[in-house]
Structure 1
Amino acid sequence: MAHSVMQRIGGKDQVIAGLMLSPTVLAAIFFIYAFILWTVWLSLTRSTILPSNHFIGLANYNDLFGSSRWWRSLSNLGIFGGLYVAISMAIGLLLAILLDQRIRGERLFQVVFLYPMAISAVVTGVAWRWLLDPNFGVQAIVRSLGFTHFQFAWIDDPDLAIYTVVIAAVWQTSGFMMAIFLAGLRGISPDIVKAARIDGAGTLRIYRRVILPNLAPTFFVAFILSAGLAIKAFGLIIALTGGGPGYSTNVPTIFMYVFSFERGEMGVGAASALIMLAIMMVVVVPFVILDARRKV
């Protein structure tokens, strides 16, 4: 009898939990999956500044992949995303290892390193635009000190401007990566490290054979978050370079915005948005599968 009562209580709790979650589930279905399907339809129509039901098949995709600007956007995403993810994670891990030594003033350093993440991407872009402007930024300051031949005008160079975006993005999020890795380091049992030291392992070997392998879930989280930020980059690039010089720092998000809202080619913009979604899936899904298999 007691067992049947517990079953009824458990069933009631499940019903209440389902009712509580149902608005969130319905909102997710409507605002995420329904709009994805709507974007798919737009990409197959001759939609301009306003949606259209004139079906044209894959014509928008043909226009998209025939555009040199789109291929430049993808190339920039590869450069920016690869460098940004690798460098921000490397700096974040290094800072986390240093702070994990229980140094004095640790809280102050954490606040200092995390502060850039509290600044919006637009403000970061504007600040770095001032710093990188050759007329009154780093180049002008160094030249005023007597180094008159010093050159640092990457922001005006179509071949180098994308790297200024990497610099600004790494500066903003390295502290965030540090916080993620520091949480991972503090979650490793000290007994494992002590056992390795008793066995005669040195510091480098402990990090290589013990600590870093135990940080695998943390690396996974850091990668997913930083990759998502890289693929969605928009405000920082607009504020820093405006997508230029020319369209040398365009990435798919900027391409989508320009074609959808400035050039009035919503169908092409929708097609580019779906390609971005596919890129995200290609990047993220394999890591999710590997992480799930690791936990089994």
Structure 2
Amino acid sequence: MSDAHDTPPRPGVRDTLQRLMPKLVLSPTFLAAVFFLYGFILWTIWLSLTRSTLLPNNVWAGLAQYRYLFGNGIWWTSLINLGIFGTLYIGLSMAIGLFLAILLDQRIRGEGIFRAIYLYPMALSLIVTGVAWKWMLNPGLGLEKLVHDLGFTHFSFDWLINPKMAIYTVVVAAVWQSSGFVMALFLAGLRGVDDSVIKAAMIDGASLPRIYWSVIIPSLRPSFFSALILLTGLAIKSFDLIMAMTGGGPGFSTYLPANFMYDFAFQRGQIALGAASAVMMLVAVGLLVGPFILLESRRKSDV
């Protein structure tokens, strides 16, 4: 017969409340996130399968909106612009961010000041960034006028109003804002590299550029992965910066899928078509980011 003293005491009401309190505190936030995030994603997918126009309705349309979407020349123009913008934006932001991080990693004097200067653009809203760069690149107000006032009247810089070059002005503004944030990610990764590895490479006679190229930069894989995911999402859903700088113009030269979604859903009264474009943007994020997530998770599981 077992002793009565061997039976563990039942938890009291106070112990039960202490155990459940974190769940009770977090449950409203969790439920709100599930409803407002995943709930509206499902609702958007449903809208894309209906014939909704000015107001949502439940008239089933199947894949008709997607067929119309991919038969729309404006949609294809926005995809081409996104390819140009996304490639340059992600590539330049990562290259400049890595370069700035390597410079700051040299423990230069006034590092905190430079770090704050590089990170400051990220503190600005995209609307403020767009308006500021629109003013600076406006031929009648900004850089071109300044150079003309200095006496160089033949200087011309009309990228903002040139349909062939306008997309690159958006790239410049976007890279200016994001490269400092990417620098912070890479700098955190650089500061986490084991000093013994660097010292061993120096003892073997490797130069500093060689050490960075062959030893340090390959070890920044998690930082590259994080930066790539963040920049890809920012590129695909870019809207504020475009609207503030160019409004999608001249013509459709800076028109991106996010502009297409807003224009057709809220300006032209074609909610279902706008929802279909939003779903395709979500699919694009999944197709671009998903393989990297799978590769990274597989690499960690192998380790």
Superposition TM-score tier, normalisation by shorter sequence? over 0.9
User: Aligned residue for 1:249?
Assistant: 254
**Pairing of 1:50-89 with structure 2 (within 5 A):** 50-89=55-94
Q: Within 5 Å, which residues of 2 pair with 1:113-152?
A: 113-152=118-157
- Tell me which residue corresponds to 2:111: 106
Is the counterpart of residue 188 in structure 1 residue 193 in structure 2?
Answer: yes
Partner Cα separation in structure 2 for residue 29 and residue 108 of structure 1: 41
Sequence identity, in percent? 59
Matches within 5 A, 1:1-296: 17-296=22-301
Pairs aligned (count): 295
CA offsets, 1:118-148, max 9 Å, x none?
1110011001001111112111222222322
Q: For 2:56, what is the secondary structure of its paired residue?
A: coil
* CA distance 1:250–1:293, change in 2 (3 Å): same
Letter in 1 for 2:133: W
CA distance in 1, matches of 2:133, 2:98: 24
For normalisation by structure 2, the TM-score amounts to 0.91
Compute the displacement of 1:20 (Å): 4.5
Distance 1:180 1:140 in 2: 37
CA deviations on 1:165-196 (whole Å, 9 max, x unpaired) are 00000111111111111111111111111111
Q: Secondary structure at the match of 2:35?
A: helix
Deviations 1:74-133 (A, max 9, x none): 111111111001001110110010011111111111111111111110011001001111
Q: In structure 1, the residue corresponding to 2:54 is in which secondary structure?
A: coil
The residue type equivalent to 2:111 in the other structure is: E
Question: How far apart are residue 294 of structure 1 and its match?
Answer: 1.6
Structure 1: gaps of 5 or more residues:
none
SS at match of 1:215: helix
Provide, for residues 258-291 of structure 1, a one-character-per-residue CA deviation record: whole Å limited to 9, x for no partner.
Answer: 1010000000000000000000001111111111
* Counterpart Cα distance in 1 of 2:192 and 2:29: 31
Q: Hey, what's the Cα distance between the residues in 2 that align with 1:160 and 1:209?
A: 37
The one-letter code sitting in structure 1 at the alignment partner of 2:258 is T
Q: Which entry has the higher C-alpha Rg, 1 or 2? A: 2
Alpha-carbon distance between aligned partners in 2 of 1:270 and 1:14, rounded to the nearest angstrom: 42
Letter in 2 for 1:163: Y
> Kindly tell me: are residues 205 and 4 of structure 1, through their superposed partners in 2, closer, same or farther at Cα, counting changes over 3 Å?
farther
Partner Cα separation in structure 2 for residue 117 and residue 237 of structure 1: 16
> What RMSD in Å do the two structures reach over aligned CA positions?
2.3
Unpaired stretches in structure 2, ≥5 consecutive residues: none
Letter in 2 for 1:142: V
1:16: how far off? 5.3
Amino acid at match of 1:154: W
